[in-house]
Structure 1
Amino acid sequence: MALQLVEFGGEPDRVHVLIDIHPALDISVLINNLKTASARRARNRFADHLRRSTGSHCFAAAPI
């Protein structure tokens, strides 16, 4: 197997993922795919809210 999900958890505003990945795989491609898929799901789930509040943009303040 090229990769295996070892552990998954998170907080209300983030997720934690531990993945065992084969050395031949490009981790940047994996991360890009995960981010793309999660952003698409978030946009689909909160589409009405995003249209009402900010148009097509979503902003979040980072803690300092």
Structure 2
Amino acid sequence: MFTDEMLIRCEELMREVCADFEVELREFNGEHDHVHLLVHYPPKVALSKLVNSLKGVSARMLRKEYSAHVRRCLWGGHFWSGSYFAGSVGGANRAVRRCPPDRRH
């Protein structure tokens, strides 16, 4: 569903949301049907609220800005799946947590 242009815009939107939460979006990459984010966030941030805002804002704006394309690709009327995966990388080095360069945007 995502074009390269949409992935670039999605990253911009998600960086704005992260800034609002005082969260650092350290890495972003995506494929045609999902995105990966590496974020550094303080303990005061509820991860579920951050994810909800990331998905909500990006869905609204991408639907608005790419409406014709998005309408053809929705899953049951939803932009994002209701689920997400969150994992802690703690002390993992960059090579372990980084996606291959051909998947980064």
Percent identity for Structure 1 against Structure 2: 37
Normalized per residue, which structure has more strand? 1
**Contiguous gaps of at least 5 residues in structure 2:** 1-18, 77-105
Looking at structure 2, the residues matched to 3 and 42 of structure 1 have their Cα atoms a distance apart, in angstroms, of 21
Of 25, 35, 38, 1:18 maps to 38
**Contiguous gaps of at least 5 residues in structure 1:** none
Q: Which residue of 2 aligns with 1:7?
A: 27
RMSD (CA atoms):
2.3
- SS of 1:31's partner is helix
- Moved beyond 6 Å, runs of 4+: none
TM-score when normalising by structure 2: 0.43
Of 75, 79, 89, 1:59 maps to 75
Aligned residues: 54
Normalized per residue, which structure has more helix? 2
TM-score when normalising by structure 1: 0.65
Larger radius of gyration: 1
